Structure 1
Amino acid sequence: MSPLGEAPDALIDADLTVRRVDDAAGRRAFLDLPYTLYGRDPNFRPPLRFERASHLKRHLSGKEPTEQHALFLCERRGEVVGRIAAFLNRAHLDRYEDGAGHFGLLAAVDDQRVVAALLRAAEEHLRGLGMTQIVGPYDFSVNEEIGLPESGFDTPPMLMMPYARPALAEAVAATGYETKMRLLAFVVDLDAHYPRPPVVQKLQAQVEADPSLRLRKMEPKRFREDVRACMAIFNDAWANNWSYLPFSDEQVDHVASELKPLLEPDAFWIGEKNGEPMAFVVMAPNVNEAARDLSGRMLPFGWAKLLWRLKRHEVTTARMMLMGVKQDLQKSRTGVALVCSLFEEAFAAGRAKGIKTCEMSWVLDNNVDVQRLIKLSGAEVYKTYRMVGKAL
C-alpha cells in the first residue's frame, strides 16, 4: 500500500496499518468487523450476515453502477480495528458531474486516529481516480443505507438504517469533514394522537367522498407490477431531492425480490386517481427486532426463529421505508389527502398485527413539506444522521 498522505502528528499512530483487501479472507474480515466491534453494544442489532455478504458481492461484481471499489482494513498490532470502502458511483457522476467520489461502510473503534487513517486511505484512492471531493457515508448508493448517526443513540436502529457509536461522527468531523446534508428519522406511536386533528379528518373525508380516488392494498398476484408502478412514482416524486438517483429497471426488480418475503398486502398501500397509481407507502416489519438475538446468523435455526416471529406478528416495531406521490399532485390538496389517508391505512393495519411504533425515515432536513405531512400523524424527530464531505 502506498503512503496515506500527510496528517497532523496527533492523528498518526505508528502501530496502525491500513491495507487494501481484495481476497476472500480480507472480505470476510471486512464483513465480520461490525459484529465483533459492536456485538456487546445494547442497541446494536446485527444485520443478517448472508444479506450483507450478498449486498457487497452485488456491488463488487458490477451489477450496480458503482466501480473502482477499494475496501480497506485498519489494524493495530494484527487486530482489525476499523474498515472503510471508497468507490465511484457512475450514475451519480453522470447525473451531477461534481467530481465526487464516495466512501461508506465505515466502522471503527472509538479512536480518532483510526478513523483518520481510514479516511486518508479512502481520500488517496479517490484522489488517484481524479476525484475532487469525497462525500459519504453511502452504503454504495443514496437508495441504500446512508448517513452518519449523530443523535438518537438511546434506541436501536430500524431495518436498513445505520448503526454507530457517538464517537464516530465526532472523529469524522475532527478530520475536517463538513456537513453536506442532515437526514431525519421520525417516530410515531400508533396508539397515540387519536382522534386525529380536524385537518387530517377532513383530508380523509375528501378521499372517501371523491369517486376518482381509491386506496388499495398491494395485490399479491401482481406484486412485481405493483412494485414497478410504485418505484416509477418514487423516481418521479424524489427527482429534485439532494443526491437523488433514479432506480433502474434492474434495481426495481431487485427491490421487489428483497421486499416480497417481508411484506403482507396490507403493509403496502397504493393511492390511485382515475385508476392510475399516484401515491404509495410501504411499512415493513422491523426485521432488526425479529433478528435481535441471532447474531446475524440464519443457521442452524435462525431462519426458523425469524420467520416464526414475523409470521406470528411478534414484532412490535416497523419502518415506513418507502413512500412517494407524483409531482403532479405534490402541491395539491388531493396529493396531501392521498398520502395522509395511506398513512392511516398502513397504521391501522400495523396496529391490528401488534405494531406499536413506526419509524418514518429518512427525510432530508430541507424537505419541509414532507416533514409537515409526517407531523400530522403526531410523529416526532427522534434520530438524526449527517452526510459529510471534504475537498480533495
Structure 2
Amino acid sequence: MANAPLAVRPVTTKTDTRDFIELAYRLNRGDPNWVPPLRSEVAGTINPKKNGWFSHAVARLFLAEREGRVVGRISAHIDKLALEMPAEQGFGPGTGFWGLFEAEDAGTARALINAAEDWLRSKGMTRAVGPISLSIWEEPGLLIKGHDHAPTVMMGHHRPEYRGWIEAAGYEPAKQLVTYELDITQEFPPIVQRIVAMGEKSDRIRIRTVDKSRFEQEAATILGILNDAWSDNWGFVPLTQPEIDDVGKKLKPIVFEDLIRIAELDGEPVAFMITLPDLNEAIAPLNGNLFPFGWAKLLWWLRKPQVRTMRVPLMGVVKRLQSSRMASQLAFMMIEYIRRAAVSEYGASRGEIGWILDDNQGMVAIADAIESRINRVYQIYAKQL
C-alpha cells in the first residue's frame, strides 16, 4: 500500500475538514503520552469564524490520500503581521508558515511539505518556517525532547520520526523553545525567599490577583504588558484584540483568580503571570469527545480542579524594567504567591514553565534560580524557498 500512488489536495468540503481533524486521533492512538484534544477545539482553531488569528492571516489546509485513504495532513499559512516584523526577529517579509502536520510515512511527509511550499511560493513567499500550528501563540515547534511524558494544556506532542522527515526535506533549526518543570511542594532556595520577603516590605510593590468580574479590563491590562514585554523577542507577532477575545472565551473556564497575578509598581501595572491548571489531566480520558458524558465530567472538574500540574504559559515584565533587579523581584514574588495557592488550594505538586526561548537569558536565569529543569524541547525549522 505504501507504494500506491499518493495524492495531495486542498481541503474543500465538510467531509474533508472532518477527515483532517480525525487523522491525528488515528495516527497517535498508540502513543500513551498523546492527549487527544477536544474535537470542538480543533475545529474552532481551523475555522476562520472562531479563531481571531484569521483576522490577520490566511491558511490553506491539505490532505494526503493513498487509495482513497487519508494518510497525512498539513496547513500552509501566511500571517500578515508576521510579514511586517523585522527579519532579524525571525520572521519578516517573505516568510510563510506550515503546521498542523501529521503523516503516516516519510513519502507522505515529503509530499505534504512540498504542497505547502508550493502554495507559499504561489503567494510570493520566499521562506518557510514550521511547524507552527497555526499561530506562534498556539502550538509552535516540533517536540524533539520529552516524548516520555504527556504535554500540559496548550502544548504539542509529536511522533519522534517527524524530526528526521522534516530535516530530510531540507529544513534547518531556526530556534528552540523549552519548558521547565519543578517540584512546587518544596520552598524555593533561601536567596529567592529573601528577595520575596524584601519585596513584601516595599510600599512601592503590590502583587494582586485578577478580578474575574472585570475580565475584559484585566485582559486588556495583561495584553498591554505582554505586547510591550515580548516585542523584541524572536518570533514575536503582536496579539490582537480578536485573538484575545477568542482565547478569553476558551480559557475563561480555567481562569482562577488566585492563579493569575498582576504586579504593580507605584500603582502602575508592570508585570503579570498567568498560571493554568493542567486541563489535559481532565480531558485525556475523554478521547476528544464532550458527549455523551464528557461535558458533565469536565464541568464537575472545573468547579475546583485538583491537579498534579500547573502550567505557566505566559509571564512578562514591561520592557523598561527588563534586566533590572526589580524585574527579577516581581517575577519571584508572583511565582511564589502562585506556588502557595497552587499547592494549598488545588493540590498541585508539579509546575511547568514555558515555552521559553532557549536564549532568553532573563527567563533562563529565573528558571535556574528556582531549581527547575528542562523537560521538553521544541524545534522550529526554516528553509529558503
Deviates most, 247-256 or 56-65: 56-65
SS in 1 for 2:236: coil
* Whole-angstrom distance in 2 between the partners of 1:191 and 1:63: 37
Cα shift readout 1:153-187 (whole Å, capped 9, x = no counterpart): 00011111111111011211111100010000111
Alpha-carbon RMSD across the aligned residues, in angstroms, is 1.7
- Aligned partner (choices 147, 151, 176) of residue 145 of structure 2: 151
Structure 1 equivalent of residue 375 of structure 2: 382
Shift of the 372–48 alpha-carbon distance from structure 1 to 2, 3 Å rule, reads same
- Aligned partner (choices 228, 235, 259) of residue 236 of structure 1: 228
Which letter does structure 2 place at the counterpart of 1:292? A
* Whole-angstrom distance in 1 between the partners of 2:50 and 2:228: 28
Shift of the 259–348 alpha-carbon distance from structure 1 to 2, 3 Å rule, reads same
* Whole-angstrom distance in 2 between the partners of 1:359 and 1:161: 11
Residue 59 of structure 1 and its aligned partner are, at CA, apart by 6.7
Alignment of 1:198-217 (within 5 A): 198-217=190-209
* Whole-angstrom distance in 1 between the partners of 2:204 and 2:51: 46
Structure 2 equivalent of residue 354 of structure 1: 347
SS in 1 for 2:244: helix
- Is 1:326 paired with 2:318? yes
Which letter does structure 2 place at the counterpart of 1:371? V
Structure 1 equivalent of residue 89 of structure 2: none
- Is 1:273 paired with 2:265? yes
CA contact (8 A) 1:13 1:113 kept: no
* Whole-angstrom distance in 2 between the partners of 1:128 and 1:336: 46
CA contact (8 A) 2:52 2:242 kept: no
Residue 19 of structure 1 and its aligned partner are, at CA, apart by 1.4
CA contact (8 A) 1:65 1:91 kept: no
Runs (5+) with no aligned partner, structure 1? 1-11
Structure 2 equivalent of residue 4 of structure 1: none
Structure 2 equivalent of residue 363 of structure 1: 356
Relative to the length of structure 2, the TM-score reads 0.94
Instruction: Kindly tell me the number of residue pairs found equivalent between the two proteins.
Output: 378
Shift of the 68–277 alpha-carbon distance from structure 1 to 2, 3 Å rule, reads closer
SS in 1 for 2:285: coil
Residue 58 of structure 1 and its aligned partner are, at CA, apart by 2.8
Alignment of 1:79-158 (within 5 A): 79-96=69-86, 97-109=92-104, 111-158=105-152
Relative to the length of structure 1, the TM-score reads 0.92
- Is 1:69 paired with 2:59? yes
* Whole-angstrom distance in 2 between the partners of 1:14 and 1:162: 31
Structure 2 equivalent of residue 391 of structure 1: 384
* Whole-angstrom distance in 2 between the partners of 1:42 and 1:15: 32
Structure 2 equivalent of residue 167 of structure 1: 161
Which letter does structure 2 place at the counterpart of 1:120? N
Structure 2 equivalent of residue 26 of structure 1: 16
Which letter does structure 1 place at the counterpart of 2:173? T
* Whole-angstrom distance in 2 between the partners of 1:161 and 1:61: 17
Deviates most, 278-287 or 368-377: 368-377
SS in 1 for 2:383: strand
Residue 98 of structure 1 and its aligned partner are, at CA, apart by 2.7
* Whole-angstrom distance in 2 between the partners of 1:62 and 1:239: 20
Structure 2 equivalent of residue 306 of structure 1: 298
Residue 51 of structure 1 and its aligned partner are, at CA, apart by 1.2
CA contact (8 A) 2:177 2:356 kept: yes
Shift of the 82–363 alpha-carbon distance from structure 1 to 2, 3 Å rule, reads same
Deviates most, 274-283 or 88-97: 88-97
Residue 305 of structure 1 and its aligned partner are, at CA, apart by 0.8
Which letter does structure 1 place at the counterpart of 2:124? G
Residue 13 of structure 1 and its aligned partner are, at CA, apart by 5.2
Residue 288 of structure 1 and its aligned partner are, at CA, apart by 1.0
Residue 61 of structure 1 and its aligned partner are, at CA, apart by 7.9
Deviates most, 70-79 or 346-355: 70-79
Residue 304 of structure 1 and its aligned partner are, at CA, apart by 1.1
CA contact (8 A) 2:55 2:242 kept: no
Which letter does structure 1 place at the counterpart of 2:352? E
